[in-house]
Amino acid sequence: MKFYIMNGAGNRFGVFDAREHAGFVMTADLAKATAAPNGPMGKLGADQIIIMRPPKTEIAKTENADVFMEIWNADGAEVDACGNASRCIPWLVMNETGRDKVMLETNAGLLQARRTNEFSVAVDMGEPRLEWDEIPLKEYMDTRVIDVKVGPIDAPILARPGAVNMGNPHCVFFVDDAEAVAADKIGPMIEYHPLFPQQCNVGFAEIRSRSEIRLRVWERGAGLTKACGTGACAALVAANRQNRTDRKARIIMDGGDLHIEWRESDNHVIMTGPVELEFEGELEV
């Protein structure tokens, strides 16, 4: 079975190509062991483990999807979406087939990906989910600004975040200086906030202009990562909903830049960014 180590803007993945190995089953323990620092993927480990499988739903088969992407976080939890992996897996299939467009199936739905240059892919991430029960939140509230605070209740250091679901739930705080925020301390506190029954990814977004955001993201089940594709999409949507940015922006993260556009024409979010193949090899199954 083919095995790859890839990253998208620094977001690192171990990829198992199980399309011809139906008996290969990923487990929480195997995902944690594979992703662990100083494990099979070396000192850095992985943020997520990805399994490539044949399309599995009738809708995907009807739409001629090319591949199904199974996603496991470093803590062993299976999740529905991963924006940066949604560029990496189509890139592998494009190189394999010689095509410039690929349909990807995930548990969050079907995603259309296209090559923009040799090592860059654009993915249509679909429409953001913005209703309180789509995030989901534990109770009704306007998701443009939700009632989550950090610090003293009468003088919080962080407040008024936006909530967006881009295949997984995000809580986005707007900060004056993304570098100064203790993301590694605040992130896990908000990840398990009781308002989020499925936990959440936590973004810390510094608005530098109407078209530029500096972003750091604490990912549920993975921790502070160098990049988060769905987090970048969520940050742009949340910022625009609070009239902080336009509908198109460059998102600057620790591992590189992503370009996000929330199209008015169809309400879809388009994410464009880099792909890097670090290693490929064969494993005995």
Calpha distance 233→260 (Å, rounded):
6
The token pair that represents 83 in the structure block: 């924006």
Distance separating the N- and C-terminal Cα atoms of the chain: 7
Rg (alpha carbons) of the chain, rounded to whole number: 18
Q: Return the CATH number of the domain spanning residue range 2-126+273-282.
A: 3.10.310.10
- Average pLDDT for residues 12-22, to the nearest whole number? 97
CB 162 within 8 A of CB 137: no
Q: So which residues are the catalytic ones?
A: 82, 228
Structure confidence at residue 133 as a pLDDT band (50, 70, 90): very high
- Residue 76's nearest CA partner among 17, 35, 25, 39 is 35
Structure confidence at residue 35 as a pLDDT band (50, 70, 90): very high
Q: Which fold has domain 162-267?
A: Diaminopimelate Epimerase; Chain A, domain 1 (3.10.310)
DSSP class of residue 272?
Answer: E
| Phi and psi at residue 239, to the nearest 5° | -65, -45
pTM given for the model: 0.94
pLDDT digits (tens, 9 = 90+) for 65-90: 999 999 999 999 999 999 999 999 99
CATH 3.10.310.10 residue ranges for the chain: 2-126+273-282, 162-267
Cα dihedral 49, 51, 55, 58, rounded to 10, equals -60
Calpha distance 202→176 (Å, rounded):
16
Helix H or strand E segment including 64: none
- Average pLDDT for residues 25-42, to the nearest whole number? 95
Quickly list H helices, 98-241. 183-191, 229-241
pLDDT digits (tens, 9 = 90+) for 170-204: 999 999 999 999 999 999 999 999 999 999 999 99
Residue 34 clears pLDDT 80, i.e. is over it: yes
